[in-house]
Amino acid sequence: MALVILLSLPFAAGPDGFDRERAAMVREVEAMVAETAAETGRPHLDPRVLAALGRVPRHEFVPPRIAGQAYANHPLPIGHGQTISQPYIVALMTDLLAVGPQARVLEIGTGSGYQAAVLGEVAGEVYTVEIVEPLAREAAARLSRLGYRNVVTRAGDGYAGWPERAPFDAVLVTAAPDHVPPALVDQLKPGGRLVLPLGEAGGTQSLMVVEKGMDGSVTRRTVLPVRFVPLTREP
C-alpha cells in the first residue's frame, strides 16, 4: 500500500527558543568534521549543508518528552524501534551526496523526516520512502506543517526504490542493508551518487559512497565505520 503526500516550500527558520542550541550543534558538527577529516577526506562541509542544519528545527522531529535533547550530537529514539541519526552523520551523508539546488534526490528510510528536511533545504526535489507506515504518516504531516513542499513521502519497501520518479541525481539510505540494493543503483543517473551504511545488524558497518560512471560503471569507497538500525524489507 503506498501513501503519497506532496508537501510545501522549505522551512524558514524563526525564533523558536532553540536558536542557541542549533548554533552550538552546528559548531560541534564542524569540530567533528575537522577531527574525522583524515578518514572522510572532508575537512570542511559545504556551507549550504551547515546552513541547512542551522535552519531545520530538529526538536520538531523527536518525541516531545526528549525535545530538550534534540540538539545533542547523538542519535535519539523516535519509536517503532527506529532512531533519528546523529547530526554529524546527517551532515556528512548530505555533504557526500554533493547535490545542487536543482537535484532530484531519493531517500530510503524517512523515519521522523529530519534527514528529508535537511535534504529539502539543499536539493530541488526529495522523494522519501518509509516502510513503517505510522512513521511515514507522521513524517508527512510534520514536514507539511513545517513547510516542505519540495519533499514527497510515501510508505513502502525502500529496497525497490521509487521507479516511477527515477532517475535520481543522488540516493541516500538511512538504515543499513547487508548489500547494496540493485534497484537503487539502477535508479541513479549516470554520474550520480548513492550514500549508505552497509553491513550486518549488530556487526561491522561502513558508510559507503557508490558512484555511477557516465558509462554505467559502478565504483565504491568506504568513508568511515558507523552504526545504523537494519534496513528492513516487506515479507
CATH number for the domain including 24? 3.40.50.150
Q: Provide the whole-model pTM.
A: 0.91
Residue range 228-232: mean pLDDT, rounded: 91
Domain that holds residue 115: 5-226
Q: Tell me what the mean pLDDT of segment 21-26 comes to.
A: 96
Query: Do the Cβ atoms of 146 and 210 come closer than 8 Å?
Result: no
Distance from the Cα of residue 100 to its chain's centroid? 15
- Note whether residue 177 is domain-resident: yes
Q: Is residue 235 part of a domain?
A: no
Please give the tally of structural domains in the chain.
1
Give residues with Cβ within 8 angstroms of 38, minimum separation 6: none
The reply to whether 232 falls in a domain is no
Asked if the model's pLDDT at residue 97 lies above 60, the reply is: yes
Q: Does the active-site annotation cover 217? A: no
Look at residue 89 and tell me if it is in a domain.
yes
Determine the average pLDDT of the residues in 61-83. 94
Percentage above 90 pLDDT, the chain: 88
Q: Is 231 among the domain residues?
A: no
Which pLDDT score is estimated for 18? 92
Q: Cis omega before residue 134 (within 30°)?
A: no
Query: Of these residues, 85, 144, 206, 217, which one is catalytic?
Result: 85
pLDDT for res 77: 94
Residue 164 placed within a domain: yes
On whether residue 233 sits in a domain, the answer given is no
Specify if 24 maps to a domain: yes
Task: Identify the weakest region by mean pLDDT among 2-11, 34-43, 127-136, 196-205.
Answer: 2-11
